[in-house]
């Protein structure tokens, strides 16, 4: 019998080095790092959105006026960041994407209007639940509109997250909601669905240019409602003005950039589940800082949302650079 030839250690070391430094492994590593970065951006934006309601409690202005001011401040903040960092906005990219930018911006303004109307027309719990139907609508329509292949393994996690938001919102308490408020909440969810799909249509435009135009368009869409409903432009007092400036910079300008940067580079199922971080943070802030009660099933719902998001994002094979295409969007 001829003895098996065993490669010497030097050759084996060389082969191992080649294998470890292969372009494929390096590409995967870069992909996973980019994916993690986008998830952090997205979750950070959701946390900021979740704390907005806490600060709005101390603003003495109508909801539509608050939406107008934070949209305007957010747009100016994003424009300033653009001018400081990279100079003037890319007018060619804005013209190329003008239709989808205007549509998504107007939808954002309408989303604000409908959401505030839902809060006025029904309980906060029911309004929040209706508004957070948006991720479910996106998932249902994504295979048709975006031609994205659904990950069937994540459907139970999405269902669990939706049950969780129902529990957190306090639906089991048996509160009777007003039909007008429900209609406004669902209308807001539909508007946010338009925002998500419109952003997926944008190409070769930076996050800052996109956010600037969309926030400006949102403020322009809200302005007529403010003027007609209030017969003029309500002005904030000093305290409300300072809070609005903070909300416009952090919770609108910065958060909007982070949210849609992450959204553009995450699968629909992942963004839908991670998006439920927003209402969980909102409820926790109300309990901890505003001392509003949260019943036992609310805590179960919050845990259900967090666990479903963790399971979805860590399931084996759930992230594959071959199956999950990351669009080539410009960064900041």
What pLDDT score was predicted for residue 169? 65
* 321-329, Cβ contacts within 8 angstroms, sequence gap of 24 or more: 321/27, 321/28, 321/31, 321/32, 323/149, 324/35, 324/267, 326/31, 326/34, 326/35, 326/265, 327/200, 327/264, 327/265, 329/202, 329/203, 329/204, 329/205, 329/207, 329/261, 329/264, 329/265
What pLDDT score was predicted for residue 330? 42
Give the C-alpha separation, 45 to 258, whole Å.
6
Give 244-296 as a DSSP string. Answer: HHHIIIIIIIIHHHHHHHHHHTS-HHHHHHHTTHHHHHHHHHHHHTS-----H
What pLDDT score was predicted for residue 315? 61
Minimal CA–CA distance to 38: which of 249, 260, 281, 194? 260
Which parts of 87-178 fold into alpha helices (H)?
A: 91-96, 98-121, 124-131, 134-145, 155-168
What pLDDT score was predicted for residue 174? 64
Give the C-alpha distances (Å, rounded to integers) separating 83 from 14, 87, 205, 209.
49, 4, 15, 10
Give the C-alpha separation, 280 to 261, whole Å.
22
Distance of CA 306 to the CA centre of its chain: 16
What pLDDT score was predicted for residue 253? 92
Are 256 and 101 within 8 A, CB to CB?
no
Any idea where the domains of the chain sit in the sequence? 44-313
What pLDDT score was predicted for residue 266? 78
What pLDDT score was predicted for residue 316? 55
What pLDDT score was predicted for residue 148? 72
Taking only the tens of pLDDT, the chain with its 332 residues reads 444 444 444 444 444 444 444 444 666 777 677 778 888 889 999 899 888 878 877 888 888 898 999 999 999 999 998 898 878 899 999 999 999 999 999 999 999 888 777 777 766 666 766 777 777 777 778 788 877 776 777 778 778 877 877 776 666 766 545 677 778 888 988 998 999 899 888 889 988 899 999 999 999 999 999 999 999 999 999 999 999 999 999 999 999 888 878 877 777 667 777 877 877 787 777 778 877 677 788 788 778 877 776 676 666 544 443 333 333 334 33
Burial of 117 (0-12, 13-18, 19+ CB in 10 A): buried
Give the C-alpha separation, 154 to 117, whole Å.
33
Are 78 and 253 within 8 A, CB to CB?
yes
Are 104 and 201 within 8 A, CB to CB?
no
What pLDDT score was predicted for residue 321? 37
Give the C-alpha distances (Å, rounded to integers) separating 169 from 202, 210, 245, 311, 323.
34, 32, 29, 22, 35
């Amino acid at each position: 019998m001829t003895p098996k030839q065993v490669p010497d250690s030097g050759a084996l070391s060389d082969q191992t080095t080649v294998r470890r430094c292969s372009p494929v492994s390096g590409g995967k590593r870069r992909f996973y790092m980019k994916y993690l970065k986008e998830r952090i951006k997205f979750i950070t934006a959701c946390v900021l959105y979740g704390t907005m309601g806490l600060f709005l409690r101390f603003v003495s202005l109508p909801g539509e006026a608050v939406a107008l001011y934070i949209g305007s401040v957010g747009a100016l903040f994003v424009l300033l960041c653009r001018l400081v960092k990279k100079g003037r906005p890319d007018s060619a990219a804005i013209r190329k994407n003008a239709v989808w930018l205007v549509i998504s911006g107007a939808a954002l303004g309408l989303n604000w209007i409908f959401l505030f109307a839902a809060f006025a027309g029904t309980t906060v719990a029911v309004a929040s639940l209706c508004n957070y139907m948006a991720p479910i609508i996106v998932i249902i329509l994504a295979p048709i509109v975006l031609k994205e292949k659904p990950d069937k393994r994540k459907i139970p996690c999405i269902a669990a997250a939706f049950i969780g938001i129902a529990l957190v919102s306090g639906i089991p308490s048996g509160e009777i909601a007003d039909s007008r408020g429900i209609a406004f909440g669902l209308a807001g969810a539909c508007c946010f669905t338009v925002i998500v799909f419109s952003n997926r249509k944008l190409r070769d435009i930076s996050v800052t240019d996109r956010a600037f135009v969309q926030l400006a368009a949102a403020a322009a869409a809200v302005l007529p409602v403010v003027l007609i409903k209030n017969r003029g432009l309500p002005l904030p007092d000093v305290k409300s003005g300072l809070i609005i400036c903070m909300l416009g910079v952090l919770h609108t300008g910065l958060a909007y950039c982070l949210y849609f940067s992450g959204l553009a580079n995450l699968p629909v199922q992942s963004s839908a589940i991670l998006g439920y971080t927003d209402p969980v943070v909102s409820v926790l802030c109300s309990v901890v800082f505003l001392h509003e009660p949260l019943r036992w099933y609310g805590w179960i719902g919050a845990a259900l949302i967090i666990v479903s998001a963790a399971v979805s994002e860590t399931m084996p094979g759930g992230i594959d650079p071959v199956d999950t295409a990351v669009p080539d969007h410009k960064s900041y």
